[in-house]
Amino acid sequence: MKRIEIQEHTCDICVVGGGLAGCMAAIRAAQLNTNVILVDKSHPERSGCAATGLDHVWGYFPEVQGREGVSLEEMVEDHIQNVAHGLVHKKMLHYIAATSLDRILDLERFGAKIRFEDSTLPGKLRLQYQMHACRNTLHFEGRDVKRILSKAVRNQGARILDRVMVMELLVEDGEIAGAVGYGTRDGKIHRIRAKAVVMATGRANRLYKPYPGLTFAIRMPPALTGDGKAAMFRAGVELINMEFLSIPGRWSSKNLIRGGGLPTGSYQPPGTGVNALGEVIRRRNHDIGGKTVYGTAKTFATGKSFQGELEAGRGPIYADMSWGSEEDQKYMLWAIENEGLGPGLLHLMDSYGLDFRKHKIELWPIEPEHSAAAAGGPIVDDICQTTLPGLYAAGDEAGGIPGSVAPGAFTMGYLAAESATKRTDQIKAIPVGKGEEQVVAFCNDILSRSDGDPWEEAQATIHNIMTDYNVHVRSETMANRGLESLDYLAGTMHLTAANPHELTHCLEMRNLIDCGKIIFRSTIERKESRGKIFQRKDYPEQDDANWFCFLGQKMEKDVAVFQKHSP
Ligand SMILES: Cc1cc2nc3c(=O)[nH]c(=O)nc-3n(C[C@H](O)[C@H](O)[C@H](O)COP(=O)(O)OP(=O)(O)OC[C@H]3O[C@@H](n4cnc5c(N)ncnc54)[C@H](O)[C@@H]3O)c2cc1C
Query: Is residue 402 assigned to a domain?
Result: no
Number of C-beta neighbours around residue 218 at 10 A: 20
pLDDT at 254 (0 to 100): 85
User: d(Cα 377, Cα 397) in Å, to the nearest integer?
Assistant: 6
55 lines ligand 1 (CB under 6 A): yes
Query: Is residue 224 assigned to a domain?
Result: no
Number of C-beta neighbours around residue 498 at 10 A: 9
The secondary structure of residue 389, as a DSSP letter, is T
- Across residues 508-514, what is the average pLDDT? 98
pLDDT at 291 (0 to 100): 40
447 with 550, same domain: the answer is: yes
205 lines ligand 1 (CB under 6 A): no
101-115, 227-241, 335-349: least confidently modelled range? 335-349
Last residue of a domain, one of 365, 392, 422: 365
Q: What is the pLDDT of residues 114-128, one digit of tens each?
A: 999 989 899 999 888
pLDDT at 113 (0 to 100): 97
Q: Are 459 and 215 in contact (CB under 8 A)?
A: yes
- CA of residue 96 to ligand 1 center, whole Å: 16
380 lines ligand 1 (CB under 6 A): no
Coil, strand, or helix at residue 364? Answer: strand
- CA of residue 474 to ligand 1 center, whole Å: 28
Query: Is residue 15 assigned to a domain?
Result: no
359 with 441, same domain: the answer is: no
- CA of residue 69 to ligand 1 center, whole Å: 33
- CA of residue 248 to ligand 1 center, whole Å: 19
453 with 535, same domain: the answer is: yes
456 with 546, same domain: the answer is: yes
Which residues, 6+ apart, have CB-to-CB distance to 285 below 8 Å?
128, 129, 264, 265, 266, 268, 269, 270, 271, 300
- CA of residue 372 to ligand 1 center, whole Å: 10
Range of the domain at 527: 437-565
**Which candidate, 393, 450, 433, places its Cα nearest to that of 202?**
393
pLDDT at 219 (0 to 100): 84
Q: Which residue has the higher pLDDT, 55 or 194?
A: 194
Q: What is the pLDDT of residues 490-502, one digit of tens each?
A: 999 999 999 999 9
Instruction: Output phi, psi for 213, to 5 deg.
Output: 85, -5
Q: Are 230 and 377 in contact (CB under 8 A)?
A: no
403 lines ligand 1 (CB under 6 A): no
- Across residues 76-87, what is the average pLDDT? 90
pLDDT at 131 (0 to 100): 76
pLDDT at 301 (0 to 100): 67
pLDDT at 211 (0 to 100): 82
Confidence of residue 292 (pLDDT cuts 50, 70, 90): very low
pLDDT at 253 (0 to 100): 84
pLDDT at 250 (0 to 100): 75
242-251, 376-385, 425-434: least confidently modelled range? 242-251
Query: Is residue 470 assigned to a domain?
Result: yes
443 with 358, same domain: the answer is: no
Query: Is residue 152 assigned to a domain?
Result: no
Confidence of residue 429 (pLDDT cuts 50, 70, 90): very high
User: d(Cα 465, Cα 121) in Å, to the nearest integer?
Assistant: 51
359 with 447, same domain: the answer is: no
151-155, 161-165, 294-298, 405-409: least confidently modelled range? 294-298
Asked if pLDDT for residue 298 goes beyond 60, the answer is no
- Across residues 153-181, what is the average pLDDT? 98
The secondary structure of residue 220, as a DSSP letter, is S
- CA of residue 218 to ligand 1 center, whole Å: 14
> What ligand 1 atom has the least distance to the C-alpha of 371?
19
Which residues, 6+ apart, have CB-to-CB distance to 332 below 8 Å?
267, 268, 269, 270, 271, 321, 324, 356
Last residue of a domain, one of 112, 142, 172: 142
The average confidence (pLDDT) of the chain is 91
Query: Is residue 178 assigned to a domain?
Result: no
pLDDT at 342 (0 to 100): 85
22-36, 154-168, 211-225, 458-472: least confidently modelled range? 211-225
Number of C-beta neighbours around residue 566 at 10 A: 7
Looking at this protein, which amino acid is placed at residue 157? Answer: G
User: d(Cα 474, Cα 470) in Å, to the nearest integer?
Assistant: 6
The secondary structure of residue 125, as a DSSP letter, is B
Angle between helices 227-234 and 500-525 (to 10 degrees): 70
User: d(Cα 116, Cα 334) in Å, to the nearest integer?
Assistant: 12
State the distance between the two ends of the chain, measured CA to CA, in whole angstroms: 51
Asked if pLDDT for residue 295 goes beyond 50, the answer is no
Confidence of residue 290 (pLDDT cuts 50, 70, 90): very low
Confidence of residue 67 (pLDDT cuts 50, 70, 90): confident
Number of C-beta neighbours around residue 114 at 10 A: 18
Q: Are 250 and 261 in contact (CB under 8 A)?
A: yes
pLDDT at 564 (0 to 100): 97
18 lines ligand 1 (CB under 6 A): yes
Asked if pLDDT for residue 248 goes beyond 90, the answer is no
Q: Which residue has the higher pLDDT, 278 or 130?
A: 278
pLDDT at 341 (0 to 100): 83
355 with 465, same domain: the answer is: no
Query: Is residue 78 assigned to a domain?
Result: yes
Last residue of a domain, one of 303, 331, 365: 365
CATH code assigned at 473: 1.20.58.100
pTM for the predicted model, two decimal places = 0.95
- Across residues 308-334, what is the average pLDDT? 87
Q: What is the pLDDT of residues 105-116, one digit of tens each?
A: 999 999 999 999
- CA of residue 125 to ligand 1 center, whole Å: 24
Asked if pLDDT for residue 196 goes beyond 70, the answer is yes
Instruction: Output the CA–CA distances (angstroms, integers) from residue 197 to 6, 161, 390, 552, in the order listed.
Output: 20, 14, 6, 21
The secondary structure of residue 318, as a DSSP letter, is E
Instruction: Output the CA–CA distances (angstroms, integers) from residue 547 to 370, 518, 543, 564, in the order listed.
Output: 20, 18, 6, 8
Question: In total, how many domains does the chain have?
Answer: 3
From the centroid of its chain, how far is CA 478? Answer: 27
Tell me which range, 136-145, 186-195, 356-365, 373-382, is most confidently predicted by mean pLDDT: 186-195
- Across residues 392-405, what is the average pLDDT? 96
Asked if pLDDT for residue 459 goes beyond 90, the answer is yes
pLDDT at 265 (0 to 100): 57
For a ligand 1 pocket test, name from 189, 203, 405, 415 the mutation site with the most ligand atoms within 8 angstroms of its C-beta.
405
From the centroid of its chain, how far is CA 489? Answer: 26
pLDDT at 228 (0 to 100): 98
353 with 464, same domain: the answer is: no
Which residues, 6+ apart, have CB-to-CB distance to 49 below 8 Å?
19, 20, 202, 203, 220, 221, 224, 340, 396
447 with 558, same domain: the answer is: yes
Name which residue sits closest to atom 50 of ligand 1, judged by CA.
49
76 lines ligand 1 (CB under 6 A): no
- Across residues 460-465, what is the average pLDDT? 97
- Across residues 557-567, what is the average pLDDT? 95
DSSP letters spanning 56-94: EEE---IIIIITTT--HHHHHHHIIIIISTT-S-HHHHH
Query: Is residue 340 assigned to a domain?
Result: yes
Sheet hosting strand 317-320, strand order edge to edge: 251-253, 361-365, 317-320, 272-274, 280-282
353 with 462, same domain: the answer is: no
Q: Are 92 and 400 in contact (CB under 8 A)?
A: yes
